[in-house]
Amino acid sequence: MSFTHLDAAGHAHMVDVTSKQPTVRTATARGFVRCSADVIAALRDGTAPKGDVIAVARIAGIQAAKATPSLLPLAHVIGVHRASVELDIVDDGVRIEATVGTADRTGVEMEALTAVSVTALAIVDMIKGIDRAVVIEDVRIVAKSGGRSGDWVRPGETAPESAR
């Protein structure tokens, strides 16, 4: 078995994608922030002590998608041409869905995962004074399109609007 991020000597290196043709690619990730009924009430009525949790979390996620190569040492610097973060407050927490798009030489799965992860972290930061037991759960890629491997939707997931 060979590993794409290791050279012949076993040292980590960035995969060379310079000869690949740019194509349109998207990836969608989802995650969940489980929190108390007190947090849900504060989110729904806009009374969280630190302000508009949802707005701050959405912007944090979009910013994170664009900053992925700064966080992950072997991620390629690519043009993030689209980044959206949707949040849905439900009875036991906040559902997060991030979709990232590019027209570049490599996919945006890591950017979508980073967007969801940082969105979740921003929520935790904004509500930790109300609920110290908050939990980030189930961060995963649910769909991707474009590139050599084509389209994919995680079995058991509903395809995001962008993949329908």
Residue 83 has φ and ψ, to the nearest 5°, of -150, 120
Catalytic position from the list 125, 131, 138, 151:
125
Kindly calculate the radius of gyration of the chain based on its CA atoms and give it in whole angstroms.
Answer: 17
Between 109-127 and 37-45, two packed helices, what is the crossing angle to 10 degrees? 100
> At CA 130, angle to CA 64 and CA 128, rounded to 5?
30
- Residue 20 near residue 106, CB atoms below 8 Å: yes
Q: Is 125 a catalytic residue?
A: yes
107, 90, 94: which is closest to 60 by C-alpha?
Answer: 94
Residues 6+ apart with CB under 8 A from 92: 34, 35, 40
Nearest residue to 80 via CA among 115, 56, 61, 104: 104
Active site residues: 125
